[in-house]
Each structure stands twice: as structure tokens, then as C-alpha cells.
A = this chain, B = another copy of it.
Amino acid sequence: MLQIWALDGIREITPGDDLVRVILDATTEPLRDGADGSLRDGDIVVVTSKIVSKAEGRIIHASDREDAITRETVRLVASRTSPTGHVTRIVENPLGIVSAAAGVDASNTPEGTVLLLPVDPDASARALATGLRAATGAHVGVIVTDTLGRAWREGQTDHAIGAGGIHVFEDLRGTTDAEGRPLVVTLPCVADEIAAATDLVKGKAARRPVAIVRGRGDLVGDLDLPGARSIVRDPVRDMFRQGADEAYAEGFAAGRAAAG
């Protein structure tokens, strides 16, 4: 049985806040059904990047959100202009993550400001795991999430952009299926699955940025396990490292030059 719940009573986070203390305070509350909400061995603490960014002071003044996106962009992957003139840019941000706004977040931020992603979400997750383990004695893992769109599918789901003390992949390579054949290509990204699962308990537009997942303690491990950065595919291996329109245009120019 997997149990997932969001912590109630997390107040607005401001720069310099100690998230370990904030989470501990929230987990000392009994759960709604009266059960003990304290962290236990094997619990996975899942935190939105939004509050990590706020605690780390990654708030900037931005009368123009587009400027912030441009500054956070290391590579334009694709862009498209709608009939009404709205430009959608899909870009790679400094973390290697491909998304629609380079991780620049203008929702649930004070007016006139935008949030940047944490500089190193894996380091943030490891620091949280270290602090929570020291304070509680419980062997917990931490995942930091962001909401991302997908190629080929509408809508967004939450993904892992930081991980500390937890296996981000469940490596089935080397195991066999029920017929005894090797499961060679299966590499479930459990960190992304956990991130997605916790989005289901956050509540619409509510301030419930921390969730606990109980029941997969086997995924919790050493603090030096690879972080969520290891989920990002190297563009060299990526068949979709560039949008179709952009690749076509580059090819067209190269073809014309080769013929000329």
C-alpha cells in the first residue's frame, strides 16, 4: 500500500527560511484521520521547486517575464508564433531541462516578481535530506519537483528536477520477465513517477507544496546517489534535441548552400 498526502499548514516561504524546520513543524501535526504524521524510515519527502526557490531567494523583479526567460535560456529548442502573435518558446535551461519557460515561474509569486529555479536542485534536495535525517533520525529521501509539458501529449505533469538520498531509476536491467526473458530496455523513472503522484494531492492552486510518499522505502538510499540531473537526456543522444521546424530550416539553408 502506497500512501501519499500533502502537509497542511505550510506558511508562505520567504528568502532565508529554513525548509527543514518548516517541514518538521508541519509533520508534527497529526494527520486528518488522527494518525501520526511524523517522518519514518523510508518516507519520501516531495517538495515543489517553487518553495525551494523562494527559500533560496531566487526571486527577481521582472516587469518583463520574457526577459527573464531569455536570460535563463541556454539553448532555443523550438519556437512557434500563434496566429494572434503569441510566441511559444521551448528552451533548455541551465539544468538541461527542456520546457516552455526555462523554469521561470510567475504564478503564486508576489506581484512584479518572477521565480527562477533553484541553482542546483539536486544539491537542494541532498541538503534537505541531510537536514531531515539529522533532525528526525529517519532515513528519508527528498525529491524536488517542477511542472513540465511534454512532447506529443497535451497538458503538464510534475517531474523530478532534484533528488537526494533516493534512486531516481528503478533499474530492471538484468532481471527477467515472468517468462524468464531479460527486461533489457526497461528503466522506470520512479523519481518522475513519484513527482507525478504527489501532484494529485496538492489541491487546486492551493498552498500545499510538500507531500509525503510512504510505502517505497526500498528506493531510499545513500546521499551520494545520482541526482535528478541524471534523468536529463544528453542532447547528443536525443532525437528531439531540436524542433522539427527549426531542424528543417537549418537543413534547407544547408541544402541551398551545398547546391549553390
A31 on the B face (CB < 8 A): yes
A172 contacts B260, CB within 8 Å? Answer: no
* Interface 0/1 of A225-260, CB less than 8 Å to B: 000001111000011111111111111111111111
A33 on the B face (CB < 8 A): yes
A154 contacts B255, CB within 8 Å? Answer: no
Option from B200, B232, B251 in Cβ contact (under 8 Å) with A247: B251
Cβ of A59 to closest chain B Cβ, rounded Å: 13
* Interface 0/1 of A1-42, CB less than 8 Å to B: 111110000000000000000000000000111000000000
Count the copies.
2
B189 contacts A155, CB within 8 Å? Answer: yes
Complex formed: what's the CA distance from A52 to B110 in Å?
48
Which of A66-74, A117-125, A128-136, A144-152 binds B? Answer: A144-152
B248 contacts A259, CB within 8 Å? Answer: no
CB within 8 Å of B: which A188-214 residues? 188-190, 192-194, 196-197, 199-201, 204-207
A-side residues, CB < 8 A to B, are 1-5, 31-33, 78-80, 88, 90, 97-98, 100, 106-111, 147, 150-159, 169-170, 172, 175-179, 181, 183, 185-190, 192-194, 196-197, 199-201, 204-207, 215-216, 230-233, 238-260
Nearest 6 A/B pairs, CB to CB:
A251-B251, A255-B255, A197-B197, A155-B189, A247-B247, A248-B251
20 further A-B contacts with Cβ under 8 Å, apart from A2-B197, A151-B240, A156-B188, are: A3-B4, A107-B181, A107-B183, A109-B179, A151-B233, A151-B239, A152-B233, A154-B231, A156-B186, A156-B189, A157-B188, A157-B189, A157-B196, A175-B204, A177-B205, A192-B196, A193-B197, A248-B251, A252-B255, A255-B256
